[in-house]
Amino acid sequence: MKSIEVCLSPALFRYKSTSSDYTVVVIDVLRATTAFCAAFDSGVESIIPVSGLDELLEYKNKGFITAAERDGKKVDFVDFGNSPSVFLQSDLKGKKLAYSTTNGTQAIGLAKECGNIAIGSFSNLQAISKWLINKNLNIVILCSGWKNTFSLEDTLCAGALIESLELSGQFFRICDASTASLSLWQSSKNKLIESVQLASHYKRLSELGLHDDLNYCFQINSSKAVPIWDGNAFGDVSKL
């Protein structure tokens, strides 16, 4: 049996108890990890997560396509914001993407310490679950949150992933955060949109008029992408 632990914020990652042979699943439902999956669905070959905008500009100058948002809004010089809908409308076959977001790339930066990183969202729930069950390592689910605070939508997605993983009979929860995430998911899943409408970041994006993205980010299993870190970039291993 392998363990499942949930970190409800990047600020709690340092306090996790799992320390060997684990995969970190980074979740940023609104919208980075959903957008990663959408970009792969549109043919992107690889995604490099980038922290700062200066570094992102260097990638742009090297010929990468670039994506970045700050506080929910697209940054000036980039090709894409953080919108999965826009990625889905684009043909990005074979393109290399450099990507910087408010919360998602911070969480990915922390996860690099362990080497095994997977990208989770509602859109690729089944795809990533299958990969994790097959991989059969301990799992740390890292919710990206909002500027180090707790996000409802990431926690619900963590709960949905736990439910899916536990169906395999291979995993057990080792922390209260995983039990609470599962409980929140199970009491919300039959009214998911109603539940996430209470989330701060849902409200923030709704006020920005991003309804297509909000609809897409809560569509379960719309993507087959399995974005996995290879040491240099994320690739979609579902295509191997």
Per CB under 8 A, residues contacting a copy of itself are 8-9, 11-12, 15-17, 146-152, 155, 175-177, 179-180, 183-184, 187-188, 195, 198-201
What DSSP letter does each residue of 27-93 carry, written as one string? E-TTTHHHHHHHHHHTT--EEEE-SSHHHHHHHHHTT-EEEEEETTEE-TT-SB-S-HHHHHTS--T
Residue closer to a copy of itself, measured from CB, 101 or 222? 101
What is the helix (H) or strand (E) element at residue 219, kind and residue range?
A: none
Residue closer to a copy of itself, measured from CB, 92 or 152? 152
Burial (CB < 10 A; 0-12, 13-18, 19+), residue 183, is exposed
Q: How far is CA 219 from the centre of its chain?
A: 14
User: Nearest approach, Cβ of 188 to a copy of itself (angstroms)?
Assistant: 7
User: Nearest approach, Cβ of 9 to a copy of itself (angstroms)?
Assistant: 6
**Type of residue numbered 193:** I
Residue closer to a copy of itself, measured from CB, 11 or 57? 11
User: Nearest approach, Cβ of 201 to a copy of itself (angstroms)?
Assistant: 8
User: Nearest approach, Cβ of 149 to a copy of itself (angstroms)?
Assistant: 5
Residue closer to a copy of itself, measured from CB, 98 or 175? 175
